[in-house]
Structure 1
Amino acid sequence: MILTTPKNSFVLSVGGSVFAPNGEDNKIDIPYLHNFETFIRKEIAKKRRFFLVVGGGYTARQYRDAAKKAAGHDLTDEDLDWLGIHATRLNAHLFRTIFRDVAYPWILKHFDMVDKNAVNYPIVICGGWKPGWSTDYDAALLANDYHINTVINLSNIDQVYDKDPNKHKDARPIDKMGWDELTGLVGKAWRPGMNSPFDPIAAQLGKKIGLKVIIANGHDFANLAKILDGKDFTGTVIE
């Protein structure tokens, strides 16, 4: 069976840093969630459909840090990843609850199969799947499974830089880059909780399947609208 995904379908990878940032307060950003909900509801009124892949944010980091401190010794990467995965699923349920009236009733969390019923809903919420990568990889798998050629990765940065802009004042933003160039920046190995524009394992998959990824600031809804409308936008295109 060949699955036919409706036109105007988008995969949005919503980074946890956008709605559950690390900081002094470590709180879920409720005003952001309200603005995100308002924006998405306006877009689905235009007959657009969204797969929302939700990250872990500070929720994942808190559980990983607590486990390390409570255990009193280093934990395996697999155990740390599972804590992060379940954090993404909790966050995914938060999003599903917000969009309860229009979203597919079940969280997608297994990406070795295609759920043919999911495409009948304007919004499908997804959490993490397996250890060894982040939800970036899950978003790439999802796009491939449902024949969507672009992932829009919503982060707390406007673009990818050639080096860490928080440490280097001369860091330059990158408008377009290839997968090999990204791998040169982020490496090839995944570490639980690592901070990178797009996770290294997902980058390898993206290159393999010919995926296009757009990195953009998740707080700039006017810019996101331009991306969806095919207009000029601020961000980094990876392909």
Structure 2
Amino acid sequence: MERIIVISLGGSIIIPDKIDVNFLKGFKKIIIDFVEKGNKAIIVCGGGKTCRHYQEAAATVSNLRNEDLDWIGIHTTRLNAQLIKTLFLGIVHEKIIHNPNDKIDFREKVLIAAGWKPGWSTDYDAALLAKNFNVKTVINMSDISYVYDKEPKNNHDARPIKEMPWKELRKLVGNKWDPGLNVPFDPIAAKEAEKLGLKVVIIKGTDLNNLKKFLDEKEFNGTVIS
């Protein structure tokens, strides 16, 4: 039976400081192995550090509105999406999706999407694509292995959370979106995902063996939000 997965791929995983070619090679192999079993993959690309560098530079030179900063971020997601699309030439949908509400005739094995418009991150776009393709789980590949009860980089006693309800996650991330916000899952997306009854799985993006375990429906490391 065909499975469709939706992946929200953090831009900082694609380009931590410079483009991570080894990650791209490993990610390509895992996705191709998955779709060769009769499945499909929808990959939504974030902006990551590239986005933040551009936003910081622009804000240093000019007094920008949040909408201006968001548009900078959106275009960095589209650049990253173009890069990811090249990994799957021959099996990827020709058009990179910007508006997740578009009616998409998705016959290929892989579909790539990027940022749509200001007001949220690509996590929200991933939630809408999941809705439109009747997918119940979104995989969020980010720079953390789990959601923690407090910020782990500065708090050595931070506890990883393996399962949490949307109510807890939304309390953790708040309700407001700011351009370049770095949280486990965008607050606007969290609200939408809860409304849609989606399950979101937060996993460390660079741990490709762990991604493969999840796709193979084996035990994996990460936080399940539902």
Which TM-score bucket, shorter chain as reference?
over 0.9
Count, aligned residues: 226
2:56 to 53, 62, 65: 65
Structure 1 residue 86 corresponds to structure 2 residue 102: no
Question: What TM-score, normalized to structure 1?
Answer: 0.92
TM-fit CA distance, 1:99: 1.2
**Structure 1 match to 2:98:** 109
Moved more, 186-195 or 31-40: 31-40
- What is the SS of the residue equivalent to 1:232? coil
Distance between the aligned counterparts of 2:47 and 2:88, measured in 1?
18
Q: Is the 8 A contact 2:8 2:44 kept in 1?
A: yes
With normalisation by structure 2, the TM-score equals 0.97
CA distance in 2, matches of 1:37, 1:226: 15
Name structure 2 gaps, 5 residues minimum.
none
TM-superposed CA distance for 1:42, in Å, is 1.6
RMSD: 1.1
How is 1:203-218 mapped onto 2 (pairs within 5 angstroms)? 203-218=190-205
SS at match of 2:194: helix
Secondary structure of 1:142's partner? helix
Matched, 1:98 2:87: yes
1:146 Cα shift? Answer: 0.5
Mapped partners of 2:22, 2:219: distance in 1: 27
Alignment of 1:1-239 (within 5 A): 7-21=2-16, 26-71=17-62, 73=63, 75-115=64-104, 117-118=105-106, 120-239=107-226
**Distance in 2, Cα, partners of 1:47 & 1:223:** 21
The 8 Å contact of residues 34 and 215 in structure 2, kept in 1 or not, is answered as no
Residue 114 of structure 1, CA deviation: 2.2
Cα distance, 1:159 vs structure 2: 0.5
Retained in 1: the 8 A contact 2:47–2:76?
A: yes
Q: Secondary structure at the match of 1:51?
A: strand
Contact 2:14 2:80 (8 Å CA) reproduced: no
Q: CA deviation at 1:229?
A: 2.1
For 2:119, what is the secondary structure of its paired residue?
A: coil
Partner residue, 1:3:
none
Contact 2:6 2:135 in 1 (8 A): yes
Question: How much does 1:70 deviate?
Answer: 2.1
**Which 4+ stretches in 1 moved above 4 angstroms?**
none
Distance 1:102 1:227 in 2: 22
Structure 1, unaligned runs of 5 or more: 1-5
Distance across 2 between alignment mates of 1:209 and 1:8: 19
CA shift digits 1:94-124 (9 cap, x unpaired): 1112212110011010122221x12x11100
Equivalents in 2 of 1:233, 1:39: separation in Å? 15
Identity %: 49
The structural deviation recorded for 1:44 is: 1.6
Shift of 1:54: 0.5
